[in-house]
């Protein structure tokens, strides 16, 4: 292969990525919504501990797993969305971040439904 052949192929297949400031802005602004999900999970864990403490019961291992994973899941999804999208154009990064946020919202609704419907399985 000659250098001329490589140069002829590279511009056609090269992807244009977004500027760093735009990647940081999109990731940061959408990241605030992910942070809200983390904050909400931690707040609900604290309230659950206070309510169960008043009743004289505590969380079992499943209860701790549910609430800790509910706090970690948005962070993991944000990191995966950022890893998938930071080298892509800005509109693709935004769509990936919003798709991840939708996944977090569905997960959060499942956590709420599980803890409301099966709260007795979370105490020991």
Domain boundaries, the chain: 18-122
Q: At residue 100, does pLDDT exceed 80?
A: yes
Contacts 24+ apart (CB under 8 A), 17-20: 17/86, 17/87, 17/88, 17/89, 18/88, 18/89, 18/90, 18/93
Distance CA 90, CA 8 (A): 26
Q: Which of these ranges, 5-14, 55-64, 71-80, 88-97, has the smallest mean pLDDT?
A: 5-14
The model's pLDDT over 15-61, given as tens digits with 9 standing for 90+, comes to 678 899 999 999 999 999 999 999 999 999 999 888 888 888 888 89
Split at pLDDT 50, 70, 90, the class of 102 is: very high
* pLDDT for 12: 47
* pLDDT for 5: 56
Q: How many C-beta atoms lie closer than 10 Å to residue 77's C-beta?
A: 20
């Amino acid at each position: 292969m000659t250098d001329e052949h490589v140069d002829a192929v590279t511009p056609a297949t090269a992807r244009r990525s977004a500027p760093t400031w735009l990647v940081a802005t999109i990731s940061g602004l959408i990241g605030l919504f992910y942070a809200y999900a983390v904050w909400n999970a931690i707040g609900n864990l604290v309230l659950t501990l206070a309510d169960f403490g008043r009743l004289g019961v505590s969380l079992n291992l499943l209860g701790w797993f549910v609430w800790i994973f509910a706090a970690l899941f948005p962070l993991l999804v944000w990191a995966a969305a950022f890893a998938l999208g930071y080298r892509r154009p800005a509109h693709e990064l935004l769509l990936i971040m919003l798709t991840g946020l939708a996944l977090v919202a569905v997960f959060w609704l499942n956590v709420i439904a599980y803890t409301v419907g099966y709260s007795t399985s979370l105490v020991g």
